[in-house]
Every structure is written in structure tokens, then in C-alpha cells.
């Protein structure tokens, strides 16, 4: 089954940084190296996409069209890159009211999508 990334979450990937994750296989100790997207998003937005964690989605729009992503949330191989505190930013609304936006840093595994065709 091919799952497409929900369009309402496309803005999350704006400004994503492509990084290389280095981990160790817990079974045999072999090194694992995977390309990923590093994204800093507001905590409220993360709470909206959290149910999509550990599922592979294809991207059809933007800079990463034709790729597939998987939000790392519980995979033991990539524990150091599970969602982490990204800090907070103090802001002032147009009304003059001060507010704080809490951020989280998340990683999406990034894969090429290969289509199989009938011979």
C-alpha cells in the first residue's frame, strides 16, 4: 500500500535540513548510516503528526517530491534522534501580549522511492 503524506502537513517540511544519521545495530553491533530530514517544529504541530510516526509516506510536492519519509519516534536503532526538546522562543503578538512557542526537533528517515513495473 502506498501512503501519501497528508497535504495539510507539507509546511512542516519547509526548511528541513538533510542530515546523515549514524547509529549502531543493537543485534550485531554493525554501523547503520541513513539519510534523514531534520526538522524543528512547534510542539502543537508535532502532537498533530505524532500518530503518523513509524509509517512510511511518499512525498508528491516540494523539494523532496519522489522521496519517502518515516518519522522516527520509537525505533531503538535511532534512539539518539528520537524527538528532542528544541527549546522555546519568546514572541510578542501584534496586541503587545507576550507568548512562548515551544519547539521540538524531529527526524524523518529519507528514502528514494522505487516503482516496480511489470516486465
Q: What pLDDT tens digit does each residue of the chain (119 aa) get?
A: 588 999 999 999 998 999 998 877 777 878 888 899 999 999 999 999 999 999 999 998 888 888 999 999 887 777 777 777 778 888 888 998 998 888 999 999 999 886 555 55
Instruction: Look up cell 505524532; give the residue.
Output: 50
* Beta pairing partners, 56: 70
The dihedral through the CA atoms of 107, 19, 8, 98 has a sign that is: positive
pLDDT at 1: 58
Give the CA radius of gyration of the chain. Answer: 17
H helices present in 54-96, as ranges: none
The dihedral through the CA atoms of 25, 84, 56, 34 has a sign that is: negative
* Beta pairing partners, 16: none
pLDDT at 82: 79
Amino acid at each position: 500500500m502506498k501512503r501519501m503524506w497528508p497535504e495539510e502537513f507539507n509546511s512542516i517540511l519547509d526548511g528541513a535540513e538533510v542530515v546523515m544519521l549514524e547509529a549502531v545495530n543493537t543485534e550485531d553491533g554493525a554501523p547503520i548510516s541513513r539519510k534523514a530530514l531534520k526538522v524543528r517544529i512547534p510542539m502543537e504541530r508535532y502532537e498533530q503528526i505524532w500518530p503518523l510516526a513509524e509509517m512510511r509516506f511518499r512525498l508528491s510536492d516540494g523539494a523532496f517530491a519522489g522521496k519517502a519519509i518515516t518519522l522516527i519516534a520509537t525505533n531503538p536503532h535511532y534512539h539518539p534522534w528520537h524527538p528532542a526538546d528544541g527549546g522555546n522562543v519568546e514572541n510578542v503578538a501584534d496586541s503587545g501580549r507576550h507568548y512562548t512557542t515551544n519547539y521540538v526537533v524531529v527526524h524523518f528517515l529519507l528514502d528514494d522511492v522505487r516503482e516496480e513495473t511489470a516486465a
